[in-house]
Amino acid sequence: MMPILGSTASTVTEPSLLPVFACLASLLAIPGILAFRKSPNAREGVTFIAGGIKLALVLMMVPGVLSGKMYEFRFFELVEGVGLEFRVDGLGLLFGIVASFLWLCTTLYAIGYMRAHHETNQTRFFSFFALSLCATLGVAFAGNLLTLYIFYEMLSLSTFPLVSHHGDKKARTGGRTYLSYLLGASIGLALPALIFCYTRSPEGMDFMTGGFMAGKVGATEAAILLLMFAYGFAKCGLMPLHSWLPGAMVAPTPVSALLHAVAVVKVGVFCVIRVVTGVFGTDFLLEVDAATALQWAAAITVVVSSLIALSQDNLKRMLAFSTIGQLGYIVLGVALLSPKGVAGSMLHIAMHATGKITLFMCAGAIFVATGKKYISQMEGMGRTMPLTFAAFFIGSLSVIGLPPTGGFISKFYLVMGTIEAGKIPLLVVFLVSTILNAAYFMPIVFRAFFPRGPTAPFRWDRVQEVPKACLIPILITATITLLAFFVPELGQRLAALMVPGL
Amino acid sequence: MMDQMPTILMLAPFIGAVGLSLLAWRRPAAAMPVVFGALAITVLAAVLTLREVLANGTITYLLSGWDRLPERAAGMAVGIEYKIDAFNALVLVLIPAIALINALYLRTRLAVECAGKEILYAILYLLLVVGLCGMVITNDAFNLYVLLEISSLTSYALIGIGRRRAAHATFNYIMTGTIGASFFLLGVGYLYIQVGTLNIGDIHEALMASSELRELASIKVAAMMIMAGLWLKMGLFPLHGWLPNAYRYAPTATGSLMAPLVTKVMVVVMLRMMVSLFGLDYLFAELNWRPVIVGIACVAILAGSFFALAQRDIRGMLCFLIVAEVGYMVGGAWLGNEAGITGAAYHVLSDACMTFCLFLAVAAIILRTGEHRLSAFRGAFRKMPVAMAAFTVGALSMVGLPPTCGFFSKWYLLIGGVEAGQWHYVACLLISSLVNAVLFFRIFEIALMKVEVEESGSFDVDALPEDPEDRWERVPVGTIVAMIVAATAVLTIGLLNRPIASFIATWIGQAVEVAP
Amino acid sequence: MELLTLTAQFEWILGKSNYWASTVLLLIGLHAMISKNNLIKKLIGMSIFQTGIILFYVSAGAKHGAQIPIVHYGHDSHESHDKAAHAAEHAADAGQQVAEAAAPAANHAANHAADATHTLGETLYVNPLPHVLMLTAIVVGVATLGLALAMVQKVYAAYGSIEEDEVLDAIADSTADSTVDSTVDRTVKGTPEA
Amino acid sequence: MIWQLDLILLIFLVITALISLRVRDLLGASMVFGIYSFLICLLWAGMGAVDVAFTEAAVGAGVSTVILVATVYHTRRVTGGHKRASGMKVLSLLLMLVLGGVLLHASGDFPALGDPTSPANDHPVAQYYIEGSYQDTKVPNLVTSVLADYRGYDTLFETVVVFVAGIGILAVIGVPTARMRREEVCGDTAQFGEDSDLIILQTCRLVVPVLQLFALYVIAHGHHSPGGGFQGGVLFGASYILLALSGGLREALRRLSESMSFRLAACGIVIYAGFGLLCMALGSSFLDYAILDSILPGGVAMARSHSMLIVEAGVGFTVTTILFVIYANLATRGKLEGGL
Is B146 an 8 Å CB contact of chain A? no
**pLDDT digits over B24-75, tens only?**
887 888 888 999 999 999 999 999 999 888 888 888 888 877 766 655 556 6
Residue C193 lies in a domain: no
Separation between Cα atoms, residue A129 and residue A134, nearest integer Å: 9
SS3 labels along A376-424: HHHCCHHHCCHHHHHHHHHHHHHHHCCCCCHHHHHHHHHHHHHHHHCCH
- Domain final residue pick, D79, D97, D124: D79
Beta strand B59-62 with B81-84 is antiparallel
Mark whether D176 and D45 lie in a shared domain.
Answer: no
Residue A123 lies in a domain: yes
Mark whether C118 and C137 lie in a shared domain.
Answer: no
Is B414 an 8 Å CB contact of chain A? yes
Of D21, D107, D165, Cβ closest to residue C28: D21
Of D21, D147, D230, Cβ closest to residue C44: D21
DSSP string computed for A212-254: TTTTTS-HHHHHHHHHHHHHHSGGG--TTTTTHHHHGGGS-HH
Minimum distance, in Å, between the CA of residue C32 and any CA atom of chain D: 7
Exposure letters D194-230 (e unless 16+ CB within 10 A, then b): eebeeeeeeebeeebeebbebbeebbbbbbebbbbbb
Is 90 exceeded by the pLDDT of residue D149? no
The alpha helices in A233-338, defined as continuous H runs, are 244-247, 253-257, 264-274, 282-288, 292-310, 315-335
Size of chain C in residues: 194
Beta strand A12-15 with C123-124 is unpaired
**pLDDT digits over C106-122, tens only?**
444 444 444 444 444 55
Mark whether C159 and C81 lie in a shared domain.
Answer: no
Q: Is C147 close to D169, i.e. CB distance below 8 A?
A: yes
Lowest mean pLDDT among B146-160, C14-28, D294-308: D294-308
Mark whether D58 and D144 lie in a shared domain.
Answer: no
Residue A3 lies in a domain: no
- Contact: chain D with chain A (3+ CB pairs below 8 Å): no
User: C32 is in which domain, residue-wise?
Assistant: 13-62+127-178
Q: Is B217 close to D127, i.e. CB distance below 8 A?
A: no
- Give me the pLDDT at residue D195, please: 60
Residue C187 lies in a domain: no
User: D49 is in which domain, residue-wise?
Assistant: 1-79
- Contact: chain D with chain C (3+ CB pairs below 8 Å): yes
Separation between Cα atoms, residue D203 and residue B293, nearest integer Å: 61
Mark whether D68 and D147 lie in a shared domain.
Answer: no
Residue C194 lies in a domain: no
What is the residue-level pLDDT of chain A in tens, covering all 502 positions? 333 334 444 567 778 888 888 888 888 888 888 878 777 778 888 888 888 888 888 888 888 888 877 888 888 777 777 888 888 888 888 888 888 888 888 888 887 777 777 767 777 788 888 888 888 888 988 888 888 998 998 888 888 888 877 777 777 788 888 888 888 888 888 888 888 888 888 777 888 777 788 778 888 888 888 889 989 888 888 888 888 888 777 777 777 777 766 778 889 989 998 888 888 888 888 888 888 888 888 889 988 988 888 888 888 888 888 888 888 888 988 888 888 888 888 888 888 888 888 888 888 888 877 777 787 777 777 777 878 888 888 888 888 888 888 888 888 888 888 888 888 888 888 888 888 888 888 888 888 777 777 666 666 666 677 777 778 888 888 888 888 888 777 777 777 777 766 6
Q: Is A195 close to B415, i.e. CB distance below 8 A?
A: yes
Residue A1 lies in a domain: no
Is C125 an 8 Å CB contact of chain B? no
Helix axes D3-22, C2-35, angle to 10 degrees: 20
Is C190 an 8 Å CB contact of chain B? yes
Provide, as residue numbers in chain A, all residues whose Cβ is less than 8 Å from the Cβ of B434. Answer: 183-184, 187-188
Instruction: Given the cut 0.90, state whether the ipTM is greater than it.
Output: no
Mark whether C131 and C121 lie in a shared domain.
Answer: no
Higher pLDDT: D305 or C193? It is: D305
Mark whether D45 and D156 lie in a shared domain.
Answer: no
**pLDDT digits over D14-47, tens only?**
999 999 888 888 899 999 999 999 999 998 888 8
The count of structural domains within chain D is: 2
Residue spans per domain, chain B: 288-516
Q: Is D21 close to C45, i.e. CB distance below 8 A?
A: yes
For chain B, which chains pass the contact test of at least 3 CB pairs under 8 Å? A, C, D
Mark whether D228 and D297 lie in a shared domain.
Answer: yes
Mark whether D27 and D154 lie in a shared domain.
Answer: no
Minimum distance, in Å, between the CA of residue D26 and any CA atom of chain C: 8
Is 70 exceeded by the pLDDT of residue D183? no
Residue D98 lies in a domain: no
Classify the phi-psi angles of B373: left when phi > 0, otherwise alpha if psi is within -120 to 50, otherwise beta: beta
Average pLDDT, whole number, for chain B? Answer: 85
Average confidence (pLDDT) over C44-63:
90
**pLDDT digits over B392-433, tens only?**
999 999 988 878 888 999 989 998 998 888 899 999 999 999
- Give me the pLDDT at residue B73, please: 59
The count of structural domains within chain A is: 1
Is 80 exceeded by the pLDDT of residue B150? yes
Is A168 an 8 Å CB contact of chain B? yes
Separation between Cα atoms, residue D217 and residue D229, nearest integer Å: 10
Mark whether C92 and C137 lie in a shared domain.
Answer: no
Mark whether C75 and C121 lie in a shared domain.
Answer: yes
Residue A6 lies in a domain: no
Q: Using the 8-state DSSP alphabet, how is residue B450 labeled?
A: -
Residue D112 lies in a domain: no
Mark whether D245 and D318 lie in a shared domain.
Answer: yes
Provide, as residue numbers in chain D, all residues whose Cβ is less than 8 Å from the Cβ of C62. Answer: 1, 47-49, 113-114
- Looking at the DSSP assignment, which residues form a beta bridge with residue A79? A82
Lowest mean pLDDT among A393-397, B178-182, D128-132: D128-132
Separation between Cα atoms, residue D318 and residue B303, nearest integer Å: 45
Is B370 an 8 Å CB contact of chain C? yes
- Give me the pLDDT at residue A336, please: 85
Q: Is A199 close to B451, i.e. CB distance below 8 A?
A: no
Helix axes A468-486, A90-117, angle to 10 degrees: 160
Provide, as residue numbers in chain B, all residues whose Cβ is less than 8 Å from the Cβ of C53. Answer: 182, 185-186, 189
- Give me the pLDDT at residue A183, please: 87
The count of structural domains within chain C is: 2
Residue C186's pLDDT band, with cuts at 50, 70 and 90, is very low
Is 80 exceeded by the pLDDT of residue B106? yes
Instruction: Look up residue B173 and give its amino acid.
Output: Y
Q: What angle do CA A257, A263, A264 make, to 5 degrees?
A: 95
Mark whether C17 and C58 lie in a shared domain.
Answer: yes
Average confidence (pLDDT) over B277-282:
85
- Give me the pLDDT at residue C190, please: 34
Is B174 an 8 Å CB contact of chain C? yes
Q: For the whole model, what pTM was predicted?
A: 0.87
Is B451 an 8 Å CB contact of chain A? yes
Average confidence (pLDDT) over D136-145:
84
- Most B CBs within 10 A among C177, C184, C187, hence the mutation to make, goes to C184
- Most B CBs within 10 A among A75, A134, A179, A191, hence the mutation to make, goes to A191
Higher pLDDT: C102 or D227? It is: D227
Residue D25 lies in a domain: yes
Classify the phi-psi angles of D115: left when phi > 0, otherwise alpha if psi is within -120 to 50, otherwise beta: beta
- Most B CBs within 10 A among C37, C44, C144, C180, hence the mutation to make, goes to C144
Three-state DSSP at B204 gives helix
Separation between Cα atoms, residue C118 and residue D126, nearest integer Å: 8
Mark whether C104 and C82 lie in a shared domain.
Answer: yes
Average confidence (pLDDT) over B485-491:
91
